[in-house]
Amino acid sequence: MENKKLCVVGLGYIGLPTSAMFATHGYEVYGVDVNTEVVDALNEGKIVIEEPYLDIMVQAAVRSGHLKADIKPHEADAFIIAVPTPMNEDKTANMDYVVSATEMIVPYLKKGDIVILESTSPTGTVENLLVPILERSGLEVGKDLYVGHSPERVLPGKILWELVNNDRIVGGVNRESAEKIRDLYKIFVNAEIYLTTATTAEMCKMMENTYRDVNIALANELAKICEDTGINSWDVIKFANKHPRVNLHQPGPGVGGHCLAVDPWFIVEKNPDLAKIIRLSRETNESMPTFVSERVEKILDNIKGNTVTILGVTYKPNIDDMRESPIVELIELLKDKDINVKIYDPHVNIENHQYNSMSDAARDSDLLILAVNHDIFKALPLREISETMKQKNILDTRNFLDEKKIKDEGFNYYLLGKGEEIVSPKFDEER
């Protein structure tokens, strides 16, 4: 088998599962990371992130000797760069990690090697940023060195399954590069692998996430309109989606994660005069923590309280990832309004917010805010919570909770995207 040695730079939510996947399929993999805690843990067969079954796969790969970690690269037949591409304060892409990772591997390159950028990047990154750095090796890119971009398309919580079963895009600096990269991924990808140019692949990745961000923005705008109108946006979405060609997304307290909350800005950065809908959608979604904080302020003013307990702080349910989480911003906004905030999230170890149980976290609170729809929150221990709360109020930002059960236990129930001032008549849908 060709290209049996692989070096993966960046052992985060993408690099580590990718390394483990190749290692369990027979490759000798060196994972590289500047974080010594990550490196040391991996060499002991342990992981520092939460992802189903990843710990088992990593342990097996390390025990077999196929997966090792270091703070510097090693010689290999293929190199994958999977480092973060965070935003600068001005909403532009910070490419420092990509530059550093590319420079790190240059001394280890030889004729016939493959270099793949997996990190989500603005259009032109491979052609204009990676290629000039890689050429310092003295190798001719596209002939001696096969270079391209193959973005990940995985969902946290299902990463291992989706690495294998999702279709994949491979963009090369030339066709031969794309074919070499495709053949590398074919060792574990069971789905289709489509070949294109590196720049097209870069735009595909950003647009996949932008599509979702724009549609969520439409739902969030609808939620604001419905609150102002005095109707329930969740009913509007449910019934509108009965149309065979309509698929409205769901509103919420904001959009987080390193993809949806970041990638659209990379398109705006390159085409600021053209990406008008994309910019407005991003601004709409970024406004949601403020919108929720104002709703909370209104609820608390009505009940004369100033303490809230927030359930969930990650950017999506059932994971430990807090990157770009809108709940973090919501917490700061509430604190700025002199509201006391308590946080409970069993997936995350939060300093100064250690509680024995949900009811312990809710003690002396005036309002419970369901911010993240973790499965563990689906069936709230309402009676225990009611015994510790100062006042019995719940704000559901995800339409996740059972309104009837909550009201039956004597709680006031508030729902994001539902107007409170105008009460529409209720109909029995089963009749």
Q: Output the average pLDDT for the chain.
A: 94
Q: Compute the distance between CA of residue 25 and CA of residue 39 in angstroms, rounded to an integer.
A: 21
Instruction: Tally helices (H) and strands (E) across the chain.
Output: 17, 13
SS3 412: strand
pLDDT at position 424 is 53
Residues 410, 411, 413: CA angle, nearest 5 degrees: 140
pLDDT at position 349 is 87
Q: Using 50, 70 and 90 to split pLDDT, how confident is the model at 431?
A: very low
* Mean pLDDT on 208-212: 96
Q: Using 50, 70 and 90 to split pLDDT, how confident is the model at 282?
A: very high
Indicate the burial class of 63 (C-beta count within 10 angstroms; 0-12, 13-18, 19 or more). Answer: exposed
- CATH number listed for the domain at residues 205-252+262-285: 1.10.1040.10
Can you name the residues that pair with 301 across neighbouring β-strands? none
Cβ atoms of 69 and 7 closer than 8 Å: no
pLDDT tens, residue by residue, 178-195 = 999 999 999 999 999 999
Sheet holding 367-370, edge to edge: 340-344, 307-311, 367-370, 393-396, 412-415
Q: Using 50, 70 and 90 to split pLDDT, how confident is the model at 428?
A: low
For residue 404, the tally of other CB atoms under 10 A from its CB is: 9
* Mean pLDDT on 282-308: 95
* Mean pLDDT on 348-372: 92
> Helices 36-43 & 54-64, crossing angle to 10 degrees?
70
In this structure, the dihedral spanned by the alpha carbons of residues 184, 260, 347 and 342, taken in order and rounded to 10 degrees, is 160
Q: Compute the distance between CA of residue 194 and CA of residue 168 in angstroms, rounded to an integer.
A: 6
Structure tokens at 202: 């870069």
pLDDT at position 425 is 57
pLDDT tens, residue by residue, 101-148 = 999 999 999 999 999 999 999 999 999 999 999 999 999 999 999 999
5-198, which class in CATH?
Answer: alpha beta
Positions marked active-site: 205, 259
pLDDT tens, residue by residue, 80-104 = 999 999 999 999 999 999 999 999 9
- CATH number listed for the domain at residues 287-415: 3.40.50.720
pTM: 0.91
Provide CATH 1.10.1040.10 ranges for the chain. 205-252+262-285
pLDDT tens, residue by residue, 245-276 = 999 999 999 999 888 999 999 999 999 999 99
Sheet holding 114-117, edge to edge: 67-70, 28-32, 5-9, 78-81, 114-117, 146-149, 168-172, 193-197
pLDDT tens, residue by residue, 144-161 = 999 999 999 998 889 999
pLDDT tens, residue by residue, 212-235 = 999 999 999 999 999 999 999 999
Residue 1 has pLDDT above 50, yes or no: no
Can you name the residues that pair with 8 across neighbouring β-strands? 31, 80
- Using the 8-state DSSP alphabet, how is residue 126 labeled? I
Provide CATH 3.40.50.720 ranges for the chain. 5-198, 287-415
Can you name the residues that pair with 262 across neighbouring β-strands? none
* Mean pLDDT on 42-50: 93
Cβ atoms of 268 and 91 closer than 8 Å: yes
SS3 364: coil
Q: Using 50, 70 and 90 to split pLDDT, how confident is the model at 421?
A: low
Type and span of the H or E element at 115: strand 114-117
